[in-house]
Amino acid sequence: MNKLYLGGIIFTALMLILTYLSVGGSKGGLNDDIVNILAITGAIALVVITVFVVIKYVRQMQVDSATGELADENWDGIGEYKNSVPTGWAVMFLLTMVWGMWYFTIGYPVNAYSQIGEYNEDVAVHNAKFEAKYKDITGDKLVEMGESVFLAECKVCHGLSADGIDGKAANLNIRMDEASIKAVIENGSNNKLLGFEMPMPDRNGLMNANSGYAPITDAEIDTVSAYVANGFTGKGADIYAGTCAMCHGEDGRGIEGMSPNIRDYDIALVSNVLTYGKKGIIGTMPKFDRLNDKQKEAVGAYIANISK
């Protein structure tokens, strides 16, 4: 027997044995687990096809010579033959298409066991138990839960003390800083802080009633930004009253269904940020789908408590 064929057979057998041992010997093995069955089937097909193709073309290089009609084009004297697609490649391509259609319609993952699906089902069951167990928790207990969730999920960006780690994330000890307020006034905002689309216009859509409904100026933006950031104290009360109060309320705590609270953090606002994410002057905060509603409520209670 040709050494090439013999080496191919030995290599194939060795790879198949190793594949079976690695998959079949794992936890669960091949016990009707479609994931493992598909894995070992794919591995077998891959090994056999690879060895077959390698042997075929190595053998061709050993004994065959180029034949066929040369194309008219050439590159530095190197031509190309007008050979048709090899039958083996065409068959493998068509079989791959057939297998792909089967995989996405009848096979995994549409109509079979899924480890990821089982995990998601377990998480859903756990969350339902969690919601039922803690649905009535309020007050200090809710704040304590929020602190635990914050330390597990939020401290990486916002820091242990929620100060934003030198500006890398928002400082949650205060509602908004002057730079953030100025950026929102100048550029507008649409972060679903109310839980639905309610965009705030940019500076071109803001008028100061105290100035005869004239467009808000740079100086007025600077003044009112400092006023809001400083806890609604100092200069700028008249600008706020003439430009912002009609939406955000005289005290800055927002109007239900119209605008968010810009004086304090509240549970609904924080929950919406965790649900939808938020884009601000520093960057984009992702949404936290892995937190359930009670956990989001708890984080909101904790942040509202530390920012008082």
pLDDT in tens, the chain (308 residues): 577 777 878 888 887 787 777 766 555 555 556 666 777 777 788 888 888 888 888 877 777 776 778 888 888 888 888 878 888 889 989 999 998 888 777 766 556 677 787 888 898 898 889 888 888 899 999 999 999 999 999 999 999 999 999 888 999 999 999 999 999 999 998 889 998 888 899 998 888 888 888 889 999 999 999 999 999 999 999 999 999 999 999 999 999 889 999 999 999 999 999 999 999 888 899 999 889 899 999 999 999 999 86
Nearest CA to 168 among 71, 49, 307, 281? 281
Instruction: Give the Cα separation of 294 and 296 in Å (integer).
Output: 5
Residue 182 burial (CB < 10 Å; 0-12/13-18/19+)? buried
Residue 94, in any domain of the structure: yes
Which of 61, 84, 115 is the last residue in one of the domains?
115
Q: Strands 284-285, 278-279: parallel, antiparallel or unpaired by DSSP?
A: antiparallel
Residues 145 and 270 reside in one and the same domain: yes
Q: Which two tokens stand for residue 23?
A: 């998959």
* Bridge partners of residue 215, in order along the sequence: 207
- Domain residues for 289? 137-306
Residues 42 and 90 reside in one and the same domain: yes
Residue 123, in any domain of the structure: no
Q: What is the pLDDT of residue 108?
A: 64
pTM of the predicted model, to two decimals?
0.62
Nearest CA to 261 among 274, 252, 273, 251? 252
Residue 132, in any domain of the structure: no
Residue 96: φ, ψ to 5°: -65, -40
Residues 6+ positions from 203 with CB-CB distance below 8 Å: 185, 186, 187, 188, 215, 216, 221
Residues 215 and 141 reside in one and the same domain: yes
Residue 124, in any domain of the structure: no
**189 secondary structure, DSSP code:** B
Q: What is the pLDDT of residue 1?
A: 53
Which of 115, 149, 177 is the last residue in one of the domains?
115
Q: What is the pLDDT of residue 305?
A: 94
**233 secondary structure, DSSP code:** -
Residue 30, in any domain of the structure: yes
